[in-house]
Copies of this chain bind each other. A is one copy, B any other.
Amino acid sequence: MQSFEKNKSAALIKKDKSKKGSIDIEIKPLLGLINSFSFCYTTSSCSGRILLIKKPETKRKCDTEFLFSSQSCTSLDEIKKHLSSLPKEEVWLKQEPFIIHIRCRTIHDAQKLISCCSRAGLKHSGIISAEKKTTLEIIGSGSIETIISKNRKLLPDDSYLKAIIDSANTNMKKNQSKIQNLYKQLASLGVFPSSSLVKKKRRNTSS
């Protein structure tokens, strides 16, 4: 138990190793709430995003190159800007929902969070490791994933590209609602966030 507390303290002060180097603002209140619970802490997260990725010839996921990444809605002009010079490799457009990894003290603690996820409509969330450390993955729903270019050739016309981007933006708004739904479900566990977190949540709700 003591070791769990120590690990939590160490995890919450360590340097952000992500490419972006900071936590997405859209998910900060939710992470704050989760970290206010004594029985768990977050280890990584993404608030949801729209991406243009270059698929590597090596086929290894770690070699994937990001040509564009946005944590909020985007536009045809913005996307086209990043497609002016196309590589030989395949370029894909992806819209991903939010994802959070949470270390829990016990399986029972993880189950409490899973039940909240289920009530918030996040049916694919689950314990991805239950051996030495119990790790829960919470993942949103709704995604887009489609090929955009191959052999330096843009495949969809502007009209279709706009339709994909409109759908991606719609999904990003729904994703934000899912984050709010999960916040409400977790807040109902009975352990309330500090006043600063409530403030942040209110700002998010009204945006």
- Per-position 1/0 for A134-169, Cβ under 8 A of B: 001101000111110010000111011001100100
In the complex where A107-B130, A124-B137, A159-B155 touch, is A145 in contact with B144 (Cβ < 8 A)?
A: yes
Query: Any chain B CB within 8 A of the CB of A25?
Result: no
Cα-based distance from A115 to B130 in the complex (angstroms): 10
Tell yes or no: A9 within 8 A of B by CB.
Answer: no
Considering the chains assembled together, what is the distance between the CA atoms of A109 and B150 in angstroms? 44
Residue tally, chain A, CB below 8 Å to B:
32
A34 at the interface (CB under 8 A from B): no
With A124-B128, A127-B130, A128-B123 known as contacts, the answer to whether A164 contacts B143 (CB < 8 A) is no
The answer to the question of A75 belonging to the interface, with a C-beta cut-off of 8 Å to chain B, is: no
Tell whether, in the assembled complex, residue A160 and residue B163 are in contact, meaning their CB atoms are under 8 Å apart: no
CB-contacts of A86-127 with B (<8 A): 107-108, 110-111, 114-115, 123-127
Q: In chain B, what residue has the closest Cβ to A111?
A: B130
Contact of A114 among B123, B128, B167 (CB under 8 A): B128
Chain B nearest Cβ from A72, distance in angstroms: 20
A-B contact pairs, 17 of them (CB 8 A): A107-B107, A114-B130, A123-B128, A124-B128, A125-B128, A126-B128, A127-B130, A143-B143, A144-B145, A144-B146, A145-B145, A146-B167, A147-B163, A147-B164, A155-B163, A156-B160, A160-B160
